[in-house]
Structure 1
């Protein structure tokens, strides 16, 4: 049964996927998700952390409505525009549109003249608004993708390893920018990652997944203000996490 339930304005994200299977090219049944159940509170930043191939992206595809062949249910939060926004590993910008045009195209027609100055400023894109995607580095293109997502003021933002394939310096800069723009425009966030330090830097809670078929091993509450998450604090959190989840080391 594929059941998407309506949510109230203050409802959390609720996921209860009984099973999701695939058929391989040779016809072999592959179970991607089984008994996957978790919640993310309204306005909370949560990370799905698990090994590559465990079913994290499959979970996001289900929540985005891109995959309806599963058994179980989910409930999306509502509020503001009631929109669901997503940022993927590839920025997916229209090459014939400028940065600003790409961002505004995501808005409903009657909101396309919305003041986006503050958003562009936070993301360091004020001077890039008239540039085309081919004129941007990958890091700047990822910023534009974040701007497009936040401009819609979504009820929930889904992030699928948005900093993958970037050098660590650029990725770290974008993580800090993500937190700044999220703090200025808070929304419920579910981010997929296999990078523990990234999750510990960004998240309020980390939902730890088992290898395929994905199910929840447990939840790690970070419990530390983001302005205190320096290198020393992150090192300590890494140790605490591995003590709680030694199988993920």
Structure 2
């Protein structure tokens, strides 16, 4: 049995999953999540960090309503029907629609006529609104995917390794752009990443998952304002993180 609670207005994300498993084609049952409990405060940016294949993406899919067969309760922030912005590893843009059309496609009825000029400006897309996906680099396409997720003014933003497979310079540029637009329009955010340095740069809290079946090993809160996280501060945070989670194999 599972429940997505949408009663009234929830201020935070609450995840209480007793169990989630998959059955393989040969009948084997694989336990993916077990006794997974965590919360994300309103307008907090949290990152999930954990071993490859431990169930991080499965957790996001449960929050998105794409996985319904689990035991537990999930409470999403927002109203009875919360708006969920999602950014995946692939941009998934419609090739026959322009940049602006792709972004506007996700808008709810009451936001259909919203001006998106500022959002496009912050993400560096102002001159590309009439371009089509085939005319964009992967980095630009991912900017469009971020714009589409944030244009709906989401109650919660879910990101599944949105900068994976990009070269580091492009990935860093996109991290800065994401922070810029999120800072102008804060919302509860939960991002899956394998990149500890990325998590230290972006998040208020890092939620550390165990190997499969995943549960929360612990959390690492970051109180330093983002604008003060220079190289030395990030090195200090990295050292503190590695001391707290020594032996878990996260490294740098």
Do the structures match in fold with TM over 0.5?
Answer: yes
Indicate the residue corresponding to 2:76 in structure 1.
76
Return the alpha-carbon distance in structure 2 between the equivalents of residues 73 and 10 of structure 1.
14
Is 1:244 aligned to residue 244 of structure 2? Answer: yes
CA shift, 1:25, in A, is 2.1
Confirm or deny: 8 A CA contact 1:47 1:203 kept in the other structure: yes
Confirm or deny: 8 A CA contact 1:5 1:74 kept in the other structure: yes
Aligned length: 249
Secondary structure of 1:26's partner?
Answer: coil
Return the alpha-carbon distance in structure 1 between the equivalents of residues 80 and 27 of structure 2.
44
CA shift, 1:62, in A, is 0.4
Return the alpha-carbon distance in structure 2 between the equivalents of residues 81 and 213 of structure 1.
30
Return the alpha-carbon distance in structure 1 between the equivalents of residues 80 and 74 of structure 2.
20
Is 1:150 aligned to residue 147 of structure 2? Answer: no
Supply the RMSD in Å over aligned alpha carbons. Answer: 1.3
Indicate the residue corresponding to 2:113 in structure 1.
113
Secondary structure of 1:246's partner?
Answer: coil
Return the alpha-carbon distance in structure 2 between the equivalents of residues 175 and 129 of structure 1.
21
Confirm or deny: 8 A CA contact 1:14 1:39 kept in the other structure: yes
Secondary structure of 1:248's partner?
Answer: coil
CA shift, 1:108, in A, is 2.1
Indicate the residue corresponding to 1:220 in structure 2.
220
Indicate the residue corresponding to 2:124 in structure 1.
124
Secondary structure of 1:32's partner?
Answer: strand
Return the alpha-carbon distance in structure 1 between the equivalents of residues 137 and 129 of structure 2.
14
1:1-249 alignment, distance < 5 Å:
1-78=1-78, 82-249=82-249
Secondary structure of 1:100's partner?
Answer: helix
CA shift, 1:10, in A, is 4.8
Secondary structure of 1:92's partner?
Answer: coil
The structure 1 segments of at least 4 consecutive aligned residues displaced by more than 4 Å after TM superposition are none
Return the alpha-carbon distance in structure 2 between the equivalents of residues 81 and 28 of structure 1.
36
Confirm or deny: 8 A CA contact 1:85 1:158 kept in the other structure: yes
Return the alpha-carbon distance in structure 1 between the equivalents of residues 137 and 181 of structure 2.
20
Secondary structure of 2:26's partner?
Answer: coil
Select between 181-190 and 233-242 the one with higher mean Cα deviation. Answer: 233-242
Secondary structure of 1:17's partner?
Answer: strand
